[in-house]
Structure 1
Amino acid sequence: MTLRGKILGFFLLLLLAVMVLLLALVYRSTYQHTLRQVASQLDFAHGVLAHELQSRRQAQSAMADLIAKDFTLLGEIADLVASPQQQAQSLSAALESFAARSQASFALVSAPQGQVLAGTSDELLPGAALPWRDLLDEEDPESAERLVVFAGRVLHVNATPIFAPRPNLMGWLLMAFELDDQATTLLAELSGADVALLDGAPGAYRVLASNLTGLPRAELAGQQLSQAPGVFRFELQNLQQVALRAPLGDTQDDLQVLLMRSLSAELADYQPLQWQLAGIFAIALLLAGLGALWIANTVSRPLSQMVASVRRIAGGDYHAPMATQIGGEVGLLAREFVAMQQGIAEREATISFLAYRDPLTELANRNRFVAELQQALARCAPGDSVAVLLMDLDNFKDLNDTLGHDAGDQLLCQLAERLQQRLRADEQLARLGGDEFALLIPRCDPGQVIPAAEHYRGALQQPFAVRGISMTLNATLGIALYPDHGESAGSLLQHAEVAMYLGKAQRSPYALYRPELDRHSLLRLALMSELKGAVEGGQLSLYLQPKLHIHSRCLYGVECLVRWIHPVHGFIPPDDFIPLAEQTGNVCALTRWVVRTAVAQGRAWQEQGLELKTAINVSALDLADPGFAAFIAEQLSEQGLSAASLIVEITESAVMADPEQAMGQLQQLCELGVLLSIDDYGTGYSSMAQLKRLPVHELKIDKSFVQDLLSNPDDDIIVRSTIELGHNMGLKIVAEGVETEAILERLDQLGCDIAQGYLLSKPLPPAAFAEWLAATHWQVPGLPD
């Protein structure tokens, strides 16, 4: 920023800051004052509303007492007692007349015990029991009244005893006066606030009566209103409202009255003042700007001429003339800049070449390539793609070690020349370092990226001649596409390199980046290094999920599931750290920890008298461990636990990894007495011929076939067939993913043996499982019913 700009900006920003602060203070004071005023008005409205409601209730109670003493009514009731069938209609007609004269919604006469004898209500017919039975006190009959919600209406119900004469209680006169929209409109006019009678929960209110109509009333029903007492704010029809939730008599229903006033409407009265202030501030800002501009021009004009010349030089125009006739210190500075100008021009040419060119091949280097890639991404239109191809020579290090680095440099120069000859319009070529070359293809159709890779690999078809030796080179290309594989230059280059190493691993001439094969994230590296410490450091926890014997509805056992609670990253999903354990070779240590913990848990249950089987999961690497079966036998012996109480679950894929070796381990476990189970049956690739050779005791049907059992006929067929097949082979069948009683009943009909899923419980830590076990309604073997 120029000196003139700084001076001008300082004055303007200072004045603007003061103005904004003043506006904010005025608005804040106005807002707070209006809010307090509206809250006070709502308190006053509440008092008016309460007084009006009390007056209405007193008048209605007096009317009911007067009617209860009417001789005509007493005579009708006496006749009804003498001849119920003949006098019910006459009494109802009399009540209809009383209700019309008193403007009641309906009137009823009930027996002393609360049974309706006659009335004008369509909902409460003769013979029905009163829903407000607690208003009637036969031992000490007195008039009582209450606000109730009945049939979607708010009613003021008066119960008045009828004597013939006192203290002989003949019955009760009940008169109901409705608080409807008309009544709430009158209350709103008297109180000066919008009134709404609500019941129900937030988000699903029922507006029983209100002076609001149409959309505001419908929107109010869906509001999430504050449940705290006192005044609160919310938006209705995009207008801010201040509301007061007030009690409404002694009703026992979930009934509340809401008093509302529009804060937005109250604030609108202050808008003329705010516009006047804004106009004053705008004029003041304009005058201050003109004054500051005059001062800035007076001070900075000589320097501005100097700065303009210097900027041209900074922009690369080293031949731009500079005014050296300026006097004083500014003129001396100008002449010194002219002397520097020539030296800078010479040095910049050299620096520019070294900064953006590869000294060996004179191709663009990494910095230039990244800059070109960033520009291509910025110019890329929506829907277009940009391709980055990373070429790396195979076994180039061996060539360098054999012929020397000079020969390697010659070979790289020849390759660079060939690749440059194959460049097409708008495409860029760079040498990133060593034997890596990068190619940028803007506006590249994804379907053309493989032909483009083949096009540039064509540079390797002809042999290269170095020191009289003809040699053929091979290379692997990694390909990354924008925006599918990254949205920045750095991520595209990184993912192209990941794809290149994937191609080398697969011995493929080129490979396209796939996110699921990217194993280079920092978190994965950290977890790989910390997993062994987690096994030894107590970061693992064993969760338990119960299994149920379906026919007897008795608990059968549990499946043990390992969980990793990382001290920094928190809960690590098993799908994230178990593959890491298999890659790093720590899965065997992990499984042995699970075996020790599960067997110890089984011993604890045995001491408590519980008869629960414990199931653990093992991987292909565990089955490849020659001492795995011996380790299980050792743990069972140390804990004094029966081998039949332990179930080892294996997946089909683990068995198929090396069937013969797996068969040997499984045979040892079977001879030991451990039960064997095939987990996730139906999702692997095993054949029935392979399955019948395995010494297993049960099959677990994968939850993907069980969860839609009732709605998918194909799943029903698969589950039924698997159960029949397993039973014919002498195996028990376990169904995973059982989440409803209906699925459990269907499995029982199909003859399935054991169920596991969220219907029983999700996996729980031992302490929580013990609480669940104590509270469950399922039968627990070893515990009294």
Structure 2
Amino acid sequence: MRIRSLTSRIVVFFTSLLALVLVATFVLVSVANLRISRQNAAHELVTGERIFRRLLEQQGQQLTQAVSALATDYGFRQAIGTGDTDTIASALANHGGRIKADLVMLSRLDNTIQADTLKPERVGKSYPFVDLLAKAGERGGASGIERIDGKLYQLVVVPIKAPIVIGWVTMGFEINDEIAADLKALAGLQVSFLGRNQGGWNLLASTLPPAQRIALNGTLSDRQMAGRLALEEEDYEIRLAKLADTPEGPIHALLARSLKEAMAPFYALQGTLVVLALVAIVVFLLAGIRIASRITGPLRDLAGVAERIQQGDYQQTPATQDTREIAQLAGSLAHMQTAIAEREAEITKLAFQDPLTGLPNRVRFNQLLDEAIARAREHDDSLTVLLINLDRFQQINDTLGHPTGDRVLALVGERLREAVRFEDQVARLSGDEYAVLLPGVQVGQSLSTLERIHRTFDRRFELGGRTLDVRAGMGAAGFPEHGQNATDLLRCADMAMYRAKRSGEPQMLYDPGMQSFREEHLSLLGDLQQAVERNELTLYYQPKVSLADGRADEAEALVRWIHPDKGFIPPGEFIPFAEQTGYIREVTRWVLAHAIAQAGQWVAADHPIKISVNLSTRDLLDPGLPDQVAALLAQHAMPAQYLCLEITESGLMEDPSRALDVLNRLRALGLSLAIDDYGTGYSSLAYIRRLPVTELKIDRAFVIELAHNDGDAQIVQSTIDLGHRLGLKVVAEGVEDQPTVAILARMGCDRIQGYVFGKPMPADAFVRWQQEHAASPA
């Protein structure tokens, strides 16, 4: 249910906040106490194990003392010496009964039993605890835990000397539930004795209740012998202590601490925290209701005043309040009453007028245009819309500052009003874009107006002692031939204007072919994206032949696109469009991935070919490009020395610092870098020598007429000489005849690329061409 009352919201919010804090505190304290309790339980097990082992050790010492007293008894030793069986049995029974031993045994030096109080029938048989007896022989006595008929016994073996060893006395206690209970009373832990053999674990004695003993016996496994154990809905923290190794298997003690008992104080603390939290919430709830009522009462009164102001009653005087904040709010309401009328008028003005030029804004111009279209449709008349966009206006803002730019915009608005008729409407749509509405004028008749506007820009703008040359591109569209509504007319005029700016013309009338051209390119972009995603592009390779030895072990990878419907689309049609839209990065990634993959296959086939790939300006400014190239090289196990990336001079000059950083990182990978189309841009060798490039490619414009144009020959020769002096390899592209090859060879050019040797060809065709060329390099 949605809470609408402010009082209720305040109370609910702060009460919920308090409850959240209390719950968070409760959870944190509970988690901490739970962790501490479990840590204490684990610590108690470690301490309990030490106590448990000490108790077993003390019990063994008591047994040792009792057996030692028997072994030194003169009459007992004399009976052994004379072979008096009755006296031996009586002495063993008396001493064993005196300390309540469950087993007393006498064995000869040949390890045969001479007397046994537990099982008399074993007299004359071999002594069963050979390892314990051997240990006693080494140490003069030994103690240990053994299994006899499925029961545990703590045994002590002591030699009988007269004065040499004449026999061995073994005495022991049965480790049963009673002994386990005594150990529990001293160690404070549940104690269970376990034996392990090939059949698994066996419970031999325990202090656990019967039901839990049954549950423990049913869950004994290696996985359950550490951490926590659940028995009959009670959790225990357990620890397994190994006591002895017997012929039937090892003996362990399982020490368990009840988590329920360990956490009892924690649960009591939890209950106390819950009670305190409930009391705090109730007290806070009552106090919150009281405080919220004192706040919201005056606010309701002021809300009534505001509602009457909304209805147009500005004569209300808010009542004086007894709190400073509410009094300030009441004063603000009073001031608001006097300012609303002024603000409403100002808002209306701002909604329809451009504050900088005083011209109608986009919203108002659209209204005027809709009204003019309705009148023209009613009277079967015409109208024309002009769009004007200033050239390089951003440079004025960046160089001279926005105040100067604002002054230019205002002056342009004034000149436009002077250049049109009284009934025409001039508006500033946004930024440096203006619109002119020519009612009753056909689009063909608007050329005179466009010429007058153009002449206004012939006059220089004088601003603060500066003379500025401001130009503009203009487009025109007419009703009804180009559009039936304001949106269509403005769109058509916009296309005409941008076509004029791209072509360098001052103005242009809309032509329906412009729409087809734009739709075709938009469709082309969609098809190109699909071609990249579906691997419908193809790479062709054009050889770069060495003039020194005729080798063709280098090639440039060139992308080709055969559209499923339109057939072959030249790169000159889709590459520039991809660069304009920014999709060139995806195209470059596709080319890099496939070119490196192909080069990697050639390297793996022991037929390495160095591949050159072109980069666009957008690629060169992408800081992620080096990492992507490195990943592709690693993926296809291709050495970087077989990759060359070609960049244009224009790409370098757009943002030199960012481009240089990317180039340095690419060069650090070990690949080569080439300046493509050298001589057609704005850079110089003095600038290029600071770049990490390894190669220059002379543009075909200087090569195509090399055999017939001395000027081109001098440029090419100078470029080759200077390139070599800078340590750069020089490649000439666009070579189409043998005389040009001979000239370039004399000039010292390193490599040649052109139709004289081969056109771009698929990878398999390139390999065949290379083999044929190697067979007959001439």
TM-score by length of 2: 0.40
- From the CA coordinates, give the structure whose radius of gyration is larger: 2
